[in-house]
Amino acid sequence: MAAETSSKKKLGLPLKILIAMVLGAILGFIWGEGAANIKFIGDIFIRLLKMCIYPLIFVSIISGIAQVADISRLKKVGGYFVAYWAIASTAAASLGLIWAFIIKPGVGVKLGEKAVPDVSVDLLDSLVKWIPSNPFEAFASGNILQIIVFAIITGLILAPFKETEKGKLIFNVIDALNDLVIRIVGWVISLAPYGVFALIANITGTLGVTVIYGLGKMLLVQYIAYATMIVVIYPLVLKFIAKVNPLQHFKNIYPAMLLAFSTCSSSATLPLTMKVTKERAGVPDDMVNLIAPPAATINMHACAAEMPIYAVFAAQIYGIDLPFTSLLVIICLGIIMAAGVAGVPGGGIIMSAVLLQVMGLPLDMVPWIAGIYYLIDMPNTMLNVTGDTVGMVTVASLMDELDLKTFDGEVQTT
């Protein structure tokens, strides 16, 4: 009976996408340029992705900001953690950018002849234009920067207003819309194996080993950026700001790290994250209860690191020189989109499409990202969960509330 149940187990979506990518690559190598005949299936998938972008970023950013407001009810705790979130997320996004420029994953990868898009962004001159004069026009024209600004303003206004009767009603509507959009995204992402299969078959049919070369270098950049956060940035924060032993911290929270790596879900790992942070790391219970749930939603350091990598990867493929102001925009967008990606199935795939579209870059590599996202998502989730625990320990230490005996393992816990 157990064997029968096991045999009926369905493959997870990430594994399906990975299998579809492999099969598509095989078909492309065998069929050659004839694989272009099924490219229309992939084109439909890309259009469905684009369909989700505008409502998703609007409702998810509003919802994310509202959850930050929950932290701010304890002003000092909220202030410390928000500062940690902003600094660590900026460091993560900057690391993704730096490693992408060092390793140059897109150099030598050519996706055929295509007009080079104009992605030049003059931050000072365009700042005023980021403010929408007509939000409906921003949605109709697909001006994502204006939609993001409108969402941020709406979220900031709604956060304190939601304590009133009318505000609570509006917040519930936004929350319900967020659930609806996530369900739509989930449906679109469930079609990813078919879209990825068709697009990868077409790409490999015309470009061959170029695709494998580009994917390998992009994965290398991702892993090195994540490793730098865990091996360098977090230990520096723990040693010099939290003033605790970094190795002891990793020893305390490694069960949550392992679960995050295996499940690829910060939400699924949340109960264990809270347990080890309280019982092994010595952070007060009420502080963990306050910080951990919203942190799992917005404190996504790996997502902040990966978004700039995709932008630089695409720019290098098309031989585009990104000015310094564009790099600042990419870092800001990486941080914002990382806060909006949580809770969305395949959110990294959707957000990569958002970032590329904002920067005026083609979406040709989105199927590549979808195809290998399972390989990205395992260390990605582990880094996100680790970053949450580092933040909670740092806040507790700064407030002189960290139980050092528990942290150092002098107190036996269950």
Q: Greater confidence, 11 or 105?
A: 105
Q: What is the pLDDT of residue 190?
A: 84
Q: What is the pLDDT of residue 164?
A: 87
Backbone phi, then psi, for 372, in 5-degree steps?
Answer: -110, 10
Is the pLDDT reported for residue 393 higher than 90?
yes
Q: What is the pLDDT of residue 184?
A: 87
Mean pLDDT of the chain: 82
Boundaries of every domain in the chain: 37-407
Q: How does residue 88 score in pLDDT terms, banded at 50, 70 and 90?
A: very high
Dihedral angle computed from the Cα positions of residues 268, 270, 273 and 276, in that order, rounded to the nearest 10 degrees: -100
pLDDT, tens digit (0-9, with 9 covering 90-100), for 96-112? 999 999 999 988 776 65
Dihedral angle computed from the Cα positions of residues 126, 130, 136 and 141, in that order, rounded to the nearest 10 degrees: 40
pLDDT, tens digit (0-9, with 9 covering 90-100), for 215-250? 888 999 999 999 999 999 999 999 999 999 999 999
Q: How does residue 338 score in pLDDT terms, banded at 50, 70 and 90?
A: confident
Q: Greater confidence, 67 or 172?
A: 172
pLDDT, tens digit (0-9, with 9 covering 90-100), for 122-173? 545 556 777 888 999 988 887 777 887 898 888 888 888 888 888 889 988 9
pLDDT, tens digit (0-9, with 9 covering 90-100), for 394-410? 999 999 999 999 999 87
Superfamily of chain region 37-407: Sodium:dicarboxylate symporter (1.10.3860.10)
Backbone phi, then psi, for 306, in 5-degree steps?
Answer: -75, -30
Is the pLDDT reported for residue 350 higher than 80?
no
Q: How does residue 287 score in pLDDT terms, banded at 50, 70 and 90?
A: confident
